[in-house]
Amino acid sequence: MDKFVIEGPTPLQGTIPISGSKNAALPLMAAAILGDSPTTITNIPKLRDIYTFNNVIRVTGCRVEFNEDEGILTIDPKNLNHYEAPYELVRKMRASFYMLGALLGKYGEAKVSLPGGCAWGPRPVDLHLDGMRAMGANIELEEGYVIANAPKELEGGTFTLEPSSVGATVNLVLAAVLRAKEFTIKNAAKEPDVVLLCEKLAEMGADIEGIGTRTLTIRKVDSLQGISARNASDRIETGTFMIAAAMHPQSNITLTNVDVDDLGHFPETFRKIGAEMNINGDSIHIKAPDHITPTSIKTKVYPGFPTDLQAQWATMMTQANGESKVTDTIYDDRFSYVPELVRLGADIDVKKNTAHISGKTKLKGASVMSTDLRASVSLVLAGMVAEGETDVLRIYHLDRGYEDLEEKLTNVGANITRAEQKE
């Protein structure tokens, strides 16, 4: 098991290329199974979750080829003959559960393990299963597996997602495009990942009405064909590096390969902290403010403030001059990083789903431990402005979601070393 050893404080100067999005890539990979010919996806990041999902897909008999140097992934479903996604793979990442919709949609049967993933918060799959039942599929639970069956054509119907869910929207769309006569999803997620999936399925030949809105209506088509598609750039990585650039008053960073339109309202919130931000095509230039203005946020569904950036924002607010609050309305208990930031010197008090932050506090290096992906990166950001040496333990979480993180940050001035974590 590895750890990061970070020596701070260090200003950041230079250019960081943004990688392809894991969260957008995984639905596209599942969609490739639905085609009758190969699909090639570009801008794919080298991440643990990508490798895991490649193996999940290979188990079904599909051919998967990943050119890591070029970021090109090709999936050929021609020899798919096994309709199961086993526990030993699905337990490693929740998005493997997309195999349920893909296999049910393509072949009318699926056996998929209940998922694993980050160890915080209840994120049940009830919405996925209830939606498929509403579509007309037969869904049963058996010894930790979901067993799904469906005839060649399902009558469909209407299902309302309460609350709106990216994962459930993706799974229901995957299940419906080849099988449901007409199926309407109300309160559908409209995050960029969902929009991209629907757009690419439409290119494959799917009949999807309402793309980009809260109401999706899917009508069955007889077949889909493979396509060539570009994966989106990672909007959460973009936001993370924008925050990293703002945290040290001497930082000056340019981010490239950015899908600016996918950032929602985040840029306008970011401007409130006093940083200079210039957007030019697919590049964003950030110059840190001399003093960070305290700015409170509440997470909301897209295009509101992303829950996946709240830990990073709270970390930045420890360096703001004054009081601020970070409220998570998506996941109430996503504050596992707070005790670790307090170990570094932060002044944060969590009440229910709100972190109350008093700044500016001087952070000092210590050994800290992460429990999930975004908590991990918030501790890295803290370590880069803390005085002395910070050890961030359990960085396997980071390897799931940030491609070449230490290399990208070291290239712009950070002092980060990957080392073996001794138990």
- Active site positions, annotated: 118
255 neighbors 283 (Cβ within 8 angstroms): yes
Alpha carbon distances (Å) from 233 to 10, 93, 155, 257, 278: 26, 20, 36, 7, 18
Compute φ and ψ for 89, nearest 5 degrees. Answer: -100, -45
d(CA 34, CA 1): 37
Q: Is 338 annotated as a binding residue?
A: no
Q: Is 22 annotated as a binding residue?
A: yes
The terminus-to-terminus CA distance of the chain in angstroms comes to 9
The β-bridge partners of 327 are: 298, 354
Cα-based angle 381, 273, 244 (whole degrees, multiple of 5): 20
Q: Is 127 annotated as a binding residue?
A: yes
**DSSP of 104-129:** HHHHSEEEEEPP---SSS---SHHHH
Token pair 């072949």 is found at: 107
Q: Is 362 annotated as a binding residue?
A: no
Name the DSSP letter for residue 5.
E
Q: Is 125 annotated as a binding residue?
A: yes
Of 232, 294, 235, nearest in space to 269 by CA: 294
3-state helix, strand, coil in the chain (%, to 5): 35, 30, 40
34 neighbors 208 (Cβ within 8 angstroms): no
d(CA 62, CA 80): 5
Q: Is 330 annotated as a binding residue?
A: yes
Q: Is 173 annotated as a binding residue?
A: no
Of 405, 413, 343, 414, nearest in space to 48 by CA: 405
Length of the chain: 423
Annotated binding site: 22-23, 94, 123-127, 308, 330
Annotated binding site for phosphoenolpyruvate: 22-23
Annotated binding site for UDP-N-acetyl-alpha-D-glucosamine: 94, 123-127, 308, 330
